[in-house]
Structure 1
């Protein structure tokens, strides 16, 4: 069994893999954990989950969180796993002006898209922020991350309006609202929700066009992907993939799983 762990600033997402695949042949996790909070609570939740796995496992960890939290997670995984792959390399040439400043979550989502499609792709990661990135694949391991765009997500947009615009209330964005808001709250919901769809679609097409990837597949991941899935706003078909980062980590740390 393989375990992949993606540690963010305030949330940890883990997946367990045993070689199962879906109807399209894509690796399918057999278990998972999403937890957040203070570090002691996170470590306790991860430890309980790891202890509940029925098979010995190897683990791989990526982290964008504080170094102290990463060190504690590494210690816990070393204690519980038969082997820990620490800080694996996504295997992408980063063609950006300051490569070391590109977020590792963007690189691993791009790697997951390449692992899934076997070809160049455009990746939309919808969360607190929206990232739209281009990754090229030559089929012989010469894969490259070209860069992309970063924009506010729906919740961040709502918080910004409540903070910086006079007398606008804070709302909780949700998908599927009407564009024609009948009061201030509904108008904000329309702006941050439907406006998010519009910005995502325009950015996806513009990034794809500038990268020469208009015919490349589009992948959608992230916690706010429900605002975009099935919208029909994009220039091509969109494949929704909740565990895109984990697929990239699984592929690079362990290779394709086998039953």
Structure 2
């Protein structure tokens, strides 16, 4: 065999070995999926309710396998890993870091945030419903416009609820009138109320805002679909003096929940 042929064969063999080596180390990044739904965790932020005694359960995917798990501050969160299911457990409010790694040097860093559960509702639309058999069409239209224009929360504003108990029955509320700027604070209670006529049940949020005026709000909550909700606020008493024929009036907030 000529020197040229020997060189070509050696070069081909080296390339083949190199290709095989790259292939064996070419793994997908490590990531987590929810154990129950098999839904991938987006990003590297994990929120855990401080009341979640069972913890958040995940399966590790990607990498080469043979994973190791560590957590920086076990006074905030701890974990259990049985080789299949990884469970993060809340300990106290705060933020810590967790690292998942395999033996080939692949790793995934996760920020674990433990705190009181929250619901953040951003206003995407405002409407009004008016009922009154003796109201004229012009009065009905005028009242609907007045109710929507006088809304204390505009499109882009939001309601932030921070729950103080495991049952999600009470806590603190922040109301942001606009997308940016200040907010008012208060407390709320959440319960299920039943219609006296139909017997149908509906979640009700009753909020009392801080301050000398002690403004109160009562919202009946309807779940729509895909993280969208509707708050219905009874404003009948606010407008009945101006419109004696008014029977019922509601301000309707269309909402998208962020968490």
Interval of TM-score (by shorter of Structure 1 and Structure 2):
under 0.3
Normalising by structure 2, we get a TM-score of: 0.22
TM-score, L = length of structure 1: 0.22
Relative contact order, CA 8 A, sep 6+: which one is greater? 1
Higher helix content, 1 or 2: 1
Q: In proportion to residue count, which structure has more strand?
A: 2
